[in-house]
């Protein structure tokens, strides 16, 4: 998912024993006693059928592409089992002086279980030229999974996405350590085409040889026009950060000509001095499957 631009090292997205219940009478825990039923009575009884199991409503049919991009908060649902989704894009950032460009922002997602997908981020190529420095090269690889927990608390969709950053990038763009991270996206339908989404993220990058923690939050108001078009406004920022405080306001839209393809655009502006002045990006995602 495209996030608020930041140094690549930080990876800012702006990722038994049985217990006996004492309240139950002892007789309820014992095997049921056998009751002899006379033949006449037995023949008059109608066997009780077990209640049918309520099927999982996911994935909806027909299944449409649902990428994480273009907003910072990830999708709260996983890629359906047997489908492959790939997200791609590029982003231009204006940090105040000069500029930075990154590509291809490729995220590969494979649905392996009814609620679980595997995720792999291809390294981004960053070209940054500012008055302070000239940085160029590939970033680190990221790998993890997403597991859908919801719906919970009524009709909230919630998922958890733990992943690691693997130090494969250029010297000035890599943390040189395996860094753990976790993201928890959520969403709730509001009706009339509106929904609210968001994500809580804990990043644990290694900066200058020390592990630091960054807790970020994002909130999205999204509107759908049918299945093909949506637009959103989003706030994203640091809740806890030991090295800076990034706050951005983010806008974007996406169009799906069919259920297998999406094109998107997004842009944003800073709400704090640590954030870039502005950023602009475009993307294309596709779905493969039944």
Give the model confidence (pLDDT) of 92-116 as tens digits.
999 877 899 999 999 999 999 999 9
Residue ranges of the chain with per-residue pLDDT less than 50 = 1-12, 15-45, 51-54
pLDDT digits (tens, 9 = 90+) for 217-232: 999 999 999 999 999 9
- What pLDDT score was predicted for residue 32? 38
Task: With beta carbons less than 8 A apart as the criterion, state whether 35 and 42 touch.
Answer: no
- What pLDDT score was predicted for residue 48? 52
User: CA–CA separation, 240 vs 73, rounded Å?
Assistant: 17
- What pLDDT score was predicted for residue 49? 53
Provide the terminal-to-terminal Cα distance of the chain, rounded to the nearest Å: 24
Q: For all residues of the chain together, what is the average pLDDT? A: 83
pTM of the entire predicted model: 0.79
- What pLDDT score was predicted for residue 95? 87
- What pLDDT score was predicted for residue 133? 81
């Amino acid at each position: 998912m495209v996030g608020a631009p930041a140094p690549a090292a930080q990876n800012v997205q702006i990722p038994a024993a049985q217990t006996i219940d004492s309240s139950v009478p002892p007789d309820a825990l014992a095997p049921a006693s056998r009751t002899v039923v006379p033949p006449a009575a037995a023949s008059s009884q109608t066997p009780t059928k077990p209640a049918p199991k309520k099927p999982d409503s996911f994935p909806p049919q027909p299944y449409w592409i649902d990428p994480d991009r273009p907003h910072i908060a990830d999708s709260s649902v996983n890629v359906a089992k047997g489908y492959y989704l790939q997200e791609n894009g590029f982003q231009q950032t204006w940090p105040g002086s000069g500029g930075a460009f990154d590509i291809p922002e490729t995220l590969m997602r494979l649905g392996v279980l009814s609620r679980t997908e595997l995720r792999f981020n291809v390294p981004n190529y960053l070209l940054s030229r500012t008055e302070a420095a000239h940085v160029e090269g590939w970033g680190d690889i990221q790998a993890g999974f997403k597991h859908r927990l919801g719906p919970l608390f009524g009709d909230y969709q919630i998922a958890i996405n733990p992943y690691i950053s693997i130090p494969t990038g250029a010297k000035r763009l890599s943390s040189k350590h395996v860094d753990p991270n976790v993201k928890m996206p959520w969403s709730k339908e509001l009706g009339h085409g509106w929904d609210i989404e968001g994500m809580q993220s804990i990043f644990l990058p290694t900066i200058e040889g020390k592990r630091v923690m960054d807790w970020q939050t994002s909130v999205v108001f999204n509107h759908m026009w049918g299945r093909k078009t949506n637009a959103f406004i989003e706030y994203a920022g640091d809740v806890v950060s030991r090295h800076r405080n990034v706050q951005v306001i983010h806008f974007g839209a996406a169009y799906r000509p069919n259920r297998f393809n999406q094109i998107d655009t997004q842009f944003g502006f800073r709400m704090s001095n640590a954030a870039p002045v502005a950023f602009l990006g475009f993307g294309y995602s596709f779905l493969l499957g039944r």
